[in-house]
Amino acid sequence: MTIRSAPTVFRDGVFDGKVAVITGGGTGIGKTIAHELCLLGCSVVLASRTLDTLVAAANEIKAQLPAALSARPNVVVPLACDVRDEAQVKRLFDQVMQTFERVDYIVNNAGGQFVSPFENLSLNGWNAVHRLNATGTFLVTKYAYEAYLKDHGGAIVNILVAMNKGFPYASHSGASRAAVENLTKSLAYEWASRGIRVNSVTP
């Protein structure tokens, strides 16, 4: 399967020497972001729960890079991590720092939802989505900050969904994404003086 590249305004090698961690990096948007960053010289860590999916994605990305890029050591590194689990997130950043000694960019892409009228939602369903979307973003952001960003700056991008008019039949997801949107705005102010840019993107 060919990963489609978008036209870019960036010069070749603009991210040489930089390292990005992408959650939900094994499929879809996350995998495509990883591919684009690799094309621009970035080393990428793909993180999600299923290692087999990550390994397949890493191999696919490397196969579609120019030879000079794909030959770089650790150009794409798959690391299993459940972003809902604090111990696993801490271990993820321990591994990243052991491998690269830096982490410049975070893409909080892991997320999910299911369709349900509000009246049919269970507390378990509500909590499951909030743990993945909101708590997962919190944990990854917190440990990235502690591991490297607080002293060196960097950039965090949180992937949201279009919800400016609400999110009917997925109110649980809309509420969790709204939490991430506000977290994004809050941290953009809090961390600006440390050289950390925090933004969100709604595909």
Cα end-to-end span (Å), the chain: 22
For residue 145, what is the DSSP state?
I
CA atoms within 13 A on the CB side of 38: 35
- pTM of the predicted model as reported, rounded to 2 decimal places: 0.93
Q: Enumerate the β-bridge partners of residue 79.
A: 47
User: Residue 5's pLDDT is what?
Assistant: 63
pLDDT at position 62 over 60 = yes
pLDDT of residue 11: 78
Mean pLDDT of the chain: 94
Pairing of strands 43-48, 76-80: parallel
Please compute the mean of the pLDDT values over residues 97-110 and round it to a whole number: 98
Residue 30 has pLDDT above 70, yes or no: yes
The residue among 76 and 161 whose pLDDT is bigger is: 76
8 Å CB contact between 185 and 138? no
pLDDT at 181 over 90: yes
High-pLDDT (> 70) share of the chain, %: 97
Binned at pLDDT 50, 70 and 90, residue 167 comes out as confident
CATH of 19-201, one of 3.40.50.720, 3.40.50.1000, 3.30.1370.60, 3.30.470.10: 3.40.50.720
The answer to whether the beta carbons of residues 38 and 76 sit under 8 Å apart is yes
How many angstroms separate the CA atoms of 193 and 111, rounded? 29
Q: Strand order of the sheet with strand 43-48? A: 76-80, 43-48, 19-23, 105-108, 154-159, 196-201
